[in-house]
């Protein structure tokens, strides 16, 4: 309101000053100037200077101050009457940063395919296999949390970078079973019986880099929906908890019979307390509105996996 008042008073004061001081008028105005003519539109003439001054003042006022959530300064934004600070236009979904952050929950189903295990171990489809049941399936699930830092989607960009940091627990679903290792000549009675303890699992933490290829941008759907493909990988460490107990054959008695006879355990399999994790990921990311994010993916994390995550972006 104050700026508007000055704009309206400017022409009046100028004409009044010239009319009351003829000498000054003679010096400043050409002889053909008619003081009775309508006053020139000085507000329009000085509008560019006022705009530059307003922006400079706003810049000084905003130093050291944080913008409200979802706000940014626009040089060419119109200044509505009564708007505190003038030029401060709120844009939905904007944070004032050049990156976004996410906090999410992840879940995965993990397995080692039988075709890979067949390289090292016999199964019940092998002629002469000694045990009545098939080799156990190696599988499990994992749950955890992840924190993501990602580059902001720009109108002219075709992709962006993601840094994914995670902590998760991998739980074992593999049952007890008979493991007959391959050798030449084959001996199907020399396998071990393996029994994971109930608490056998891995606590994992790591970091991944993923490149995101934008397929549908939220700015093109009025902020309602976005879709992109994400490809990346990384490394992690897993802390092993629990043990794998086992029986061996003894004096011609197979390990599965010794287990049934409740013979004493041989002990526990030697497993490193910390194991490296190699991550390779590919999937799709979905944005719903400005906050909700979902990712569906598959890949490798020492075992093959399928899974996803859900989270909030801020």
Domains along the chain? 2-90 (no CATH), 99-313 (2.40.160)
Sheet with 177-179, edge to edge strand ranges: 177-179, 192-196, 244-247, 267-268
Instruction: Kindly tell me if the per-residue pLDDT of 245 is higher than 60.
Output: yes
268-277 pLDDT per residue, tens: 999 999 999 9
| pLDDT value of position 247 | 96
| pLDDT value of position 49 | 59
């929950």: which residue's tokens? 105
Gap between the Cα atoms of 136 and 256, Å rounded:
13
| pLDDT value of position 4 | 44
- Residues in the chain, total: 314
19-67 pLDDT per residue, tens: 444 444 455 445 545 545 555 555 555 566 566 656 655 554 554 444 4
Mean pLDDT value of segment 197-208:
97
| pLDDT value of position 48 | 61
Q: Which residue has the higher pLDDT, 300 or 79?
A: 300
Per-residue tokens: 225: 């929906």
| pLDDT value of position 158 | 84
């Amino acid at each position: 309101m104050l700026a508007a008042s000055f704009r309206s008073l400017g022409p009046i004061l100028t004409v009044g000053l010239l009319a009351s001081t003829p000498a000054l008028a003679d010096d400043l105005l050409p002889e053909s100037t008619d003081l009775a003519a309508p006053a020139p539109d000085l507000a329009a003439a000085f509008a560019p200077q006022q705009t530059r001054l307003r922006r400079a003042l706003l810049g000084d006022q905003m130093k050291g101050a944080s913008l409200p959530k979802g706000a940014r300064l626009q040089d060419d934004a119109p200044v509505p009457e009564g708007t505190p600070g003038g030029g401060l236009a709120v844009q939905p979904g904007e944070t004032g940063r050049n990156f976004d952050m996410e906090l999410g929950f992840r879940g995965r189903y993990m397995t080692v395919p039988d075709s890979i295990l067949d390289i090292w171990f016999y199964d019940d489809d092998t002629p002469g296999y000694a045990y009545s049941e098939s080799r156990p399936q190696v599988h499990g699930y994992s749950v955890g949390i992840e924190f993501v830092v990602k580059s902001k989607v720009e109108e002219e960009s075709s992709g962006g970078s993601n840094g994914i940091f995670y902590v998760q627990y991998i739980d074992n679903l593999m049952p007890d079973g008979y493991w007959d290792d391959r050798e030449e000549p084959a001996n199907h009675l020399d396998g071990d019986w393996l029994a994971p303890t109930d608490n056998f699992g891995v606590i994992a933490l790591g970091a991944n880099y993923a490149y995101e290829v934008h397929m549908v941008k939220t700015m093109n759907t009025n902020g309602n929906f976005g879709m992109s493909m994400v490809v990346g990988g990384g490394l992690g460490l897993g802390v092993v908890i629990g043990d794998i107990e086992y029986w061996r054959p003894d004096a011609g008695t197979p390990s599965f019979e010794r287990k049934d006879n409740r013979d004493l355990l041989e002990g526990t399999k030697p497993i490193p307390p910390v194991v490296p994790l190699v991550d390779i990921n590919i999937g799709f990311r979905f944005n719903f509105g400005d906050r909700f994010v979902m990712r569906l993916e598959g890949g490798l994390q020492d075992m093959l996996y399928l899974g996803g995550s859900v989270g909030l972006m801020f």
